[in-house]
Amino acid sequence: MRNYPASITGTYNIPMWLSVSAGFVSLSIDDRMMMTQASLYPICLLFHSQYYNERTGSGNWFINTPRERDLVIEHFPHFAGLGKHFVDSGRILRQLELDLAEYGYLTALAPFCCVSKYC
């Protein structure tokens, strides 16, 4: 397996990781689905923030070229706001100077922090 950052491997493993977390299986199926779904976007932001370039002030859009990004926005205009989220989270998290382990910890916490019912 390629050496992906902790948050991207965490994104793909969220359902599996949650299923073995203490107490998760005792929740209703609706609550489990809500926690899993709600954690995906914050984890994607963590992933993209790792590729924020301070010199250019830009982030990585789905690991695509600018041309591909423009095509995505052309066909899905509501995705245009994602770029600002990637840049904002990248700027903030870059200032924290997190290492891969710390990104991994944030990834692990995301499912338990992003559902208002459990906050």
pLDDT at residue 13, as a whole number: 67
Q: Is pLDDT of 8 > 50?
A: no
The pLDDT tens digits for 15-68 are 677 777 778 888 888 888 888 888 888 888 888 788 888 888 777 666 667 788
pLDDT at residue 116, as a whole number: 54
Q: Which distant-in-sequence residues (6+ apart) come within 8 Å of 119 by Cβ?
A: 113
Percent of the chain with pLDDT over 90: 2
| In a domain? residue 47 | yes
60 or 78, greater pLDDT: 78
pTM, entire model: 0.66
Position of tokens 């599996």? 16
| Domains of the chain: total | 1
| In a domain? residue 91 | yes
Domain residue limits at 95: 6-118
| In a domain? residue 1 | no
Tell me the longest C-alpha to C-alpha distance in the chain. Answer: 47
